[in-house]
Amino acid sequence: MKKYIAISFLLLVFFSNAQTVQSPSKQITLDFKLIENGKPTYSATYKNKPVIATSRLGIKLKEGGDLMDGFSIDSVGQWTINETWKPVLGEQTNIKNNYNELTIALSQKATGRKINITFKAFDEGVAFRYEFPKQKNLNYFIISDEKSEFNLTGNHKTFWLPGDFDSQEYAYTESKLSEVSTDNIDKNNGINLKSIAGKYVIQSPLMMKSADGLYINIFEAAVINYPVMHLDLVPNEFKLTSHLVPNAIGYKAYLQTPCVSPWRTIMVSNDARDIVGSKIILNLNEPSKIEDASWIKPMKYVGVWWEMHVGKSTWDFAGSQNAQNAADGKLIPTGKHGATTENTKHYIDFAAKNGFDGVLVEGWNVGWEDWFGNWKENVFDFTTPYPDFDLKAVNDYAKSKGIKMIMHHETSGSVANYERHLDRAMDLMKKYGYPAVKSGYVGRIIPRGEFHDGQTMVNHFNYVAQRMAENKLMVNSHESSRPTGYSRTYPNYIAAEAARGNEFNAWSNGNPPMHETILPFTRLLGGPMDYTPGIFEIKMSFYDKTKTAQVHTTLAKQLALYVTMYSPLQMAADLPENYEKYADAFQFIKEVAVDWQDSKYLEAEPGDYLTVARKDKNSEKWFLGAITDENPRNTEIKLDFLSPNKKYKAIIYQDGKAAHWEKNPINYEIKTLTVTSKSKLKLVLAGGGGAAVSLEPVN
Ligand code: NOJ
Ligand code: CA
């Protein structure tokens, strides 16, 4: 319910240049102030400790003067909101949305232009955005820069990614703010660094910890018709400023009033669990636009996928040389193609036998001989299968086994081409009954000169979600800009990659053991991630003796990721034969839920560890996941979240005594206990290890 507290738009009312809003708990205070020459500024404290020192707010425009100063206050509005809403799919059935709002209407004397700055103070953080009301002097306009500052008050520890406008697929660097520089990142990490914007440009969400134990996170919500916000750092001043991603000719955003910017968020708490469990980003997005969401279903899936990443088979049918050389243009098969009808049926059988919902097949459509790195415009048409992939036979077979097929649309960055083919591509999905698509945006963007994180591409990703929704289709995008809560508005946008996924462990120096302890504090705040956990054959030397790549976790930690890495779309990424080999451990993946009534963040420290318990949406079962970084960890978990007066059978999948992510990753043990809400569960995690627990009531 929106509670009206005080507002006045009466002329001649005097509004003080300083305004304040506090979080419902009163622990966070945000002060707004117009300083000399009408410059808007804000600052924020947590339990009276400074979090953001006086920081300027403003927007630079291509034409007609900037919106940086010369402002006076026209009116001030304050509201309180306290409501709950139900996500279609989610970590909990009910999400609380409770905040105090302060809206300051400003006008610029010299130009007569008006903007509002709205602040929302939640218990775990504050948010603000710029609003541009409809007005004569500001109709169509071009933002050349946004200058939102975040002046931090110390040399915080931070986990950062370089400001690459085309990719977030990096390992995090942990350092003090004063040590941030792209000179200090590992260059040998499997992707090219062509689009890095500058030495001190870093990505948001940015997770930090102050010397006195405050957890601070800077991010954004509801990025719609606007570019992604990266951050410029002045390292020794601990000062961050918004760095919007430019378009092909250097401007940031083309807008028309009335319109708004995305929300800029500053989460803060002395308890890391408040950050990782925060729903601020979802709360700052609009409610679902999909009235009948009954077709949006969580999914556990397997796929013709990892076998290509480990080199057992290929996406292409003919090999790049054959395709180029064949005189008659006919493709000559290499015999290594993964997406054959027969192989797909094998995965469908495996999925059906083990209770999965779906099967993804990559490399089913023509174009993969020459798909990457050439900046070619028309690589795929998204409708023509290779000769050895029988669309009808595969889909009929899947139907007969109760399995849904997941479509794959790799665009190779050619968005122009994808948009031209989108209707036909969706018609094909509907014809055969594919409920979902995994899309991909590997490589440089076409229209040429655009970045993955620019306004054009943000609009594309949102447009695809909307068009898929019109057609009752779900989407899981890879290499898209990172989500900022849009899945609340379009819950068919079921997951995205948009960070460095498990795949990097197959063919690069991989994701260090701390990686999965950071993602929930950063990437996951914006929405579910298709991380593709569940790799059991940890070392790639299993496939090829010469390979040194490996997954940087133990097997038990791969199980725990199904709980710590929230997504209603979860892949069991390894090969069927590997699951058959470790069938006892596979049991956890078969059982684990993907849609939840409730989630409890029990222990959390970014970069170190995370323990989460979640209750299945459709049963009384709980699942618990605990992970650690490279350091071993002993912990004792109170099971007081379980229903009282019930006994539970707990199956614990944990690291064996000799386990270690590098030296002995497949060493695990499984034990069964009877527990109650009064029990404490001792867990012993190996270096790079984890534990996964299923808890089922028995009385
Ligand atoms: C990168 C994606 O992240 C991966 O999952 C996919 O297999 C390849 N692109 C090919 O589309
Ligand atoms: Ca990827």
Q: Whose CA is nearest to atom 11 of ligand 1?
A: 410
Cβ(362) to ligand 1 under 6 A? Answer: yes
- The answer to whether 72 and 6 have CB atoms below 8 angstroms apart is no
**470 CA to centre of ligand 2 in angstroms:** 26
CA dist., res. 181 & res. 192, Å (int): 17
Judged by phi (left if over 0) then psi (alpha if -120 to 50, else beta), residue 647 lies in beta
Q: Whose CA is nearest to atom 7 of ligand 1?
A: 305
Cβ(478) to ligand 1 under 6 A? Answer: yes
Q: In the numeric block, which tokens belong to residue 217?
A: 């996170």
| pLDDT tens digits for range 142-156 | 999 999 999 999 999
pLDDT for 10 equals 42
Pick out the chain residues at pLDDT < 50. 1-12
Give the CATH fold of the 2-155+209-280 domain. Answer: Beta-galactosidase; Chain A, domain 5 (2.70.98)
442, 500, 567: residue to mutate for ligand 1 pocket, most atoms within 8 A of CB: 442
For 136-289, where are the E strands, in sequence order?
A: 140-146, 149-152, 157-160, 173-176, 201-203, 206-209, 215-221, 229-234, 239-244, 253-256, 259-260, 263-269
Non-local (6+) Cβ contacts of 302 within 8 A are 347, 350, 351, 356, 358, 359, 360, 571, 572, 573, 576
Atom of ligand 1 nearest to the CA of 479: 3
Cis amide linkage into residue 387, ω under 30° from 0: no
CA dist., res. 21 & res. 455, Å (int): 31
From the CA of 166, the nearest ligand is 2
Q: Any alpha helices (H) in 7-104, and if so which ranges?
A: none
For 441-561, where are the E strands, in sequence order?
A: 474-478, 493-496
CA dist., res. 284 & res. 106, Å (int): 22
**364 CA to centre of ligand 1 in angstroms:** 13
**168 CA to centre of ligand 2 in angstroms:** 9
Atom of ligand 1 nearest to the CA of 501: 3
Cβ(145) to ligand 1 under 6 A? Answer: no
pLDDT for 324 equals 56
418, 478, 480: residue to mutate for ligand 1 pocket, most atoms within 8 A of CB: 478
Q: Whose CA is nearest to atom 8 of ligand 1?
A: 440
Cβ(162) to ligand 1 under 6 A? Answer: no
**440 CA to centre of ligand 1 in angstroms:** 6
| Pick among 3.40.50.720, 3.30.70.20, 3.20.20.70, 3.30.1490.190: CATH of 299-498 | 3.20.20.70
**40 CA to centre of ligand 2 in angstroms:** 40
Please indicate whether the domains covering 299-498 and 510-524+538-699 agree at the CATH topology level: yes
pLDDT for 9 equals 46
Cβ(497) to ligand 1 under 6 A? Answer: yes
pLDDT for 7 equals 45
Cβ(442) to ligand 1 under 6 A? Answer: yes
Non-local (6+) Cβ contacts of 517 within 8 A are 605, 606, 607, 608, 609, 610, 627, 628, 629
| pLDDT tens digits for range 397-445 | 999 999 999 999 999 999 999 999 999 999 999 999 999 999 999 999 9
**698 CA to centre of ligand 1 in angstroms:** 42
Atom of ligand 1 nearest to the CA of 305: 7
Q: Please give the CATH architecture assigned to the domain spanning 510-524+538-699.
A: Alpha-Beta Barrel (3.20)
Atom of ligand 1 nearest to the CA of 315: 10
Atom of ligand 1 nearest to the CA of 478: 3
- Residues 261-277: b if buried by 16+ CB within 10 A, e if exposed: bbbbbbbbbeebbbbbb
CA dist., res. 604 & res. 276, Å (int): 8
Q: Whose CA is nearest to atom 3 of ligand 1?
A: 478
Atom of ligand 1 nearest to the CA of 497: 3
| Residues with active-site annotation | 503
Provide the residue ranges of all domains of the chain, joining segments of one domain with +.
2-155+209-280, 299-498, 510-524+538-699
From the CA of 412, the nearest ligand is 1
Q: Tell if the pTM clears 0.95, that is, is over it.
A: yes
353: three-class secondary structure by DSSP: helix
410, 418, 504: residue to mutate for ligand 1 pocket, most atoms within 8 A of CB: 410
Cβ atoms within 10 Å, residue 333 = 15
**302 CA to centre of ligand 2 in angstroms:** 17
**167 CA to centre of ligand 1 in angstroms:** 13
From the CA of 498, the nearest ligand is 2
